[in-house]
Structure 1
């Protein structure tokens, strides 16, 4: 898959240089810009080859959250911040990972592994066709076609322009947003309980105040704006 072009934006000199030194340890990362404030980085947004943003949040004039809103076309956004209270808001902006300072190399390594996994899925995944039966879909992964029974799907998870189809055996990915997928007749049995998740009610074991427990002890968060959908389950 080659390398990924990255931009680092952090107003703290030590933190900015730390991220740079860690990034240089991974050949898959190509640093094309490093900035002490978000305003100076705005010029790079017209560069269509940017793949990854490493952003601080609390910065003068233009915060990392505001910067991301102007750069939603960039596939991967990683926040590295001393303010964990912004985590929920950040994930509303298609954040792939959220790292709390002080940043450590082992935690940064986990993030890189997650980026590579995301990019590989993004690279190869596409929706192949809808259905050949009432409870079966076929998807294409690479050069292979995989048959999935709808009643085997535990949940759907949004991944920007893609959707993970998660069964008890495997995670598959299709080139379709979760919103578009849920409009298809084959997915009418799924209930959206979060901006990034939809579940099938037959797999729900318990419903808590902030999360749902599915079979195999899988926890799925409940989004505040989707709580009314729980009435369909109850």
Structure 2
């Protein structure tokens, strides 16, 4: 795994030094800077490629939320705070993890494992721009690009920020939500029938009130709030 550039921002000196001490135990983390004020860290956003933010939330000059809004291009944001009531808002700003102080080493280690898993998937699963003649997509898998023909895709399955693109031969993972994919022109032939699934109309064999059967005897559940979409399957 590549070395990840990180910054730490916390106005409490003891908490700031605790995060730094723990982070130094992981050679995959390269600490670019440690700050008590988010304003002082802003120049790094312009001059450095940053992979991970370790942020407090309640800070006097620039809150952790305000800093994150200025740094949404940073892929990983970890909040470490004494205020558990901010958890929902933190995930609305695409936080990968939310830790309630006091920070303990075992909890920090769990966060590092989560970061590693996220970055590995991000590296392996990158949806590439479209395709020859508009009939295929390219999916990055490791160091290779795999061409997947759109008419070979049976269905899409949501995995949080990722989507499985499933053909009869293989399951590909792409770094894009299912909702984002379905907005693309390439995926107009797909119908979302569940919060986690969208099917390609041409492969539908049977429909009943609670599931759809595709070719290869694949059965996909129908979500209650998506039943009206069945009218789009001719």
Q: Normalising by the residue count of structure 1, what TM-score does the alignment of the two structures yield?
A: 0.70
Q: Residue in 1 aligned with 2:71?
A: 71
Query: Alpha carbons of 1:164 and 1:108: their partners in 2 closer, same or farther (altered >3 Å)?
Result: farther
Give me the CA root mean square deviation.
3.5
Residue 214 (structure 2) aligns with: none
Residues of 2 paired with 1:89 and 1:24: CA distance? 29
The residue that corresponds to 2:56 in the other structure is 56
2:197 matches 1:199 = yes
Residue 118 in structure 1 maps to residue 121 in structure 2: no
The change in CA–CA distance for 1:206 and 1:33 in structure 2 (over 3 A counts) is same
Q: Distance between the aligned counterparts of 1:186 and 1:6, measured in 2?
A: 36
Taking the TM superposition and a 5 Å limit, the aligned residue runs for 1:9-158 are: 9-127=9-127, 139-142=139-142, 143=144, 145=146, 151=154, 153-158=156-161
Corresponding residue for residue 205 of structure 2: none
1:168-194 CA-partner distances (Å, limit 9, x unpaired):
xx984325454441124547322685x
Deviations 1:163-217 (A, max 9, x none): 33287xx984325454441124547322685xxxx4359445887xxxxxxxxxx
* Residues 153, 166 of structure 1: 8 Å contact kept: yes
Q: Find the aligned partners of 2:105 and 2:50 in 1 and give their Cα distance.
A: 23
Q: Distance in 2 between matches of 1:122 and 1:139?
A: 12
Unaligned ranges ≥5, structure 2: 200-210, 212-219
Distance 1:38 1:138 in 2: 39
1:70-120 per-residue CA deviation (whole Å, 9 max, x = no partner) reads 111111111111112111111111211111111111111111111112222
**How many positions carry a matched residue from both structures?**
201
Question: Contact 2:153 / 2:165 at 8 angstroms: preserved in 1?
Answer: no
Using the alignment, how far apart are the partners of 2:165 and 2:26 within structure 1?
30
TM-score by length of 2: 0.70
Report the Cα offset of residue 154 of structure 1.
3.9
> Who wins on radius of gyration, i.e. which is larger?
2
Question: What stretches of structure 1 of length at least 5 have no aligned partner?
Answer: 208-228
